[in-house]
Amino acid sequence: QAAQGLLQQLMDTEPMSLDAFLTQPAAGGPHGQTIADQVKELTAKTGENVALRNAVKYAPGRSGLVGLYLHHNHQVGVLVELECGSDGVARSSGARELARELALHIASADPLAVRAEDVPAEVIDRERRIAEEQVVQEGKPEAVRGKIVEGKLKKFLSERTLLHQPWVKDDKKAIGQLMDEVSRQVGTALTVTRFTRLKVGEA
């Protein structure tokens, strides 16, 4: 019930940062009570350490569409936004079904980004260092180490970026191929603009 109240307040306000949301006056609460105060009150009432770690709201334009997936145990949830090119396509059953399938896939496969170029540089640098250490430990000849490292990085990016991942419902088909198929069906290019995967206990 408390979570539903927080969700409703988020839906009734403009998209914002978590800090901005926490400092908002709590709807229906005593005068001066903020969302942060309300969360602290829940800790006192339940005896459990309750924390609001994230608050995300997508508000796409008329040609956009948001897919939603919430796992049955309410531990993992996903929002994914598609750009559909027109309001008509955004309301089509094909685009809506694709958005839901993508959200379900993201919940299961946990990609880091939509495309390889979207992966943060610090993540690439970390994986490169790991790969370099591995080839040294494996005793690979120095002349081929660079090529092996690049191969490992390419594999990492294909496994952790949405468009390159094998679809969880058909591992012979990449997500990018699935999107191309549905794009042809609806008559226009569909693109993923962003996604958020939330898991209980993670910031």
Q: State residue 1's pLDDT score.
A: 63
65 has a pLDDT exceeding 70 = yes
Confidence of residue 203 (pLDDT cuts 50, 70, 90): low
Degrees (nearest 5) of the Cα angle 12, 15, 20? Answer: 95
pLDDT at position 162 is 97
pLDDT of residue 15: 62
Q: What is the mean pLDDT of residues 108-112?
A: 96
| pLDDT of 55 | 82
pLDDT of 187 higher than 70? yes
* pTM, 2 dp: 0.81
